Amino acid sequence: MLAPIEDDSPSKVQTSRLALVAEADPEEVEESDVDQATAADDLEAEYAPEVDDTEAARRLGRKRQRRSKAVASPELVSDEVTEEPTWGKKSGDAIEQPISVKVQRFTKPRRLDEDDPEADDILNTEIPFANRGGVNAVDVLAQMCEELISTSLQKLQDTFDNTQDAATKKELRVKLRALEAFQGELRTRFLEHTIALDALYALKKRVRQAQKNKLQLRERIIQIRAERQQVALRMDAVRMKHEEDGKEALHNIKLSAAMHDVDLAIGQGTAAPELSAKEQKTADLANLELLIDRITEHACGSYPGGGNLRYIKSFNAFLERAAATL
């Protein structure tokens, strides 16, 4: 917390500067005091009147006094009791008071008409997965720092209003400006961290959604691939059946054409006039090849019973066996 200035004398103005003191180790307190004393020396060198070496050494030794933790006596150790905060407990009619924390989140853009020229602007589109609620660690830390800095600024302002010394007012004014600048920079940094956390949350949600869509698309691809295999099998079966039907249809067409030719030839032969002897002989010679095939079939047929030549050979063999027996 910031300690107020109690003494307005010129010799103690710089040594009683405001400092942000938290519960820290003795080494941290010592370093803070040394830095403050060094800054005070610089300011004194600018505004303070000239003094001799003895007075300067006396003031310097007084400014750089080291502070250490107070050691409790053995008699007081057993009597110390740590007070626990009671704001978080519920007792009787006591109601737990909530703590207000400022939260900065993205809001949904207003709906624009299709004819609005700003409807196509990318800045007016809705940010996906930017609906995170609640308070994160950055919001809590920002609220704590904001309250601490506001308290420090208020104390500095009160000290500035109650101080009459010009040098002290100038120093306090510099501190106020520095602390306000630090407050603004801290707000900006915390806001950047909050935006980064929201972006990280949105990106995680988008990655999960993309992975879910990827799995769905993969399952759909596997399903479509299985359906394609089934369709390919049915296409093969239909193609084979079509080929068989085509062959059967071609055979029927050829058979029908042959029967038509036979009927046509029979009709022409029936309607043809009687041939003369010379024409009959010419026709028989023209059909000589067909007659030779028919006679060959009858003489030595290839069917199991055989032809006339086979019958004659069998009969001659029987006669030879009978003559040998007689």
Do 307 and 239 fall within a single domain? Answer: no
Mean pLDDT of 99-111: 69
Do 164 and 244 fall within a single domain? Answer: yes
Do 239 and 163 fall within a single domain? Answer: yes
In a domain, 286, yes or no: no
How sure is the predictor about 120, in pLDDT bands with cuts at 50, 70 and 90?
A: low
Do 158 and 260 fall within a single domain? Answer: yes
How sure is the predictor about 195, in pLDDT bands with cuts at 50, 70 and 90?
A: confident
The predicted model scores a pTM of: 0.42
73, pLDDT greater than 70: no
C-beta of residue 169 within 8 angstroms of C-beta of residue 157: no
C-beta of residue 156 within 8 angstroms of C-beta of residue 176: yes
Do 59 and 163 fall within a single domain? Answer: no
pLDDT digits (tens, 9 = 90+) for 3-20: 333 334 333 333 333 333
241, pLDDT greater than 80: yes
Calpha distance 64→61 (Å, rounded): 5
How sure is the predictor about 34, in pLDDT bands with cuts at 50, 70 and 90?
A: very low
Sequence-distant (6+) residues with CB within 8 A of 298 are 307, 308
Do 150 and 247 fall within a single domain? Answer: yes
Calpha distance 8→19 (Å, rounded): 16
End-to-end CA distance of the chain: 156
- Token code pair at residue 24: 């820290």
Do 161 and 260 fall within a single domain? Answer: yes
Domain extent for 185: 134-270
Query: Exposed, middle or buried by CB within 10 Å (0-12, 13-18, 19+), for 177?
Result: exposed
Calpha distance 172→181 (Å, rounded): 14
In a domain, 308, yes or no: yes
Do 202 and 310 fall within a single domain? Answer: no
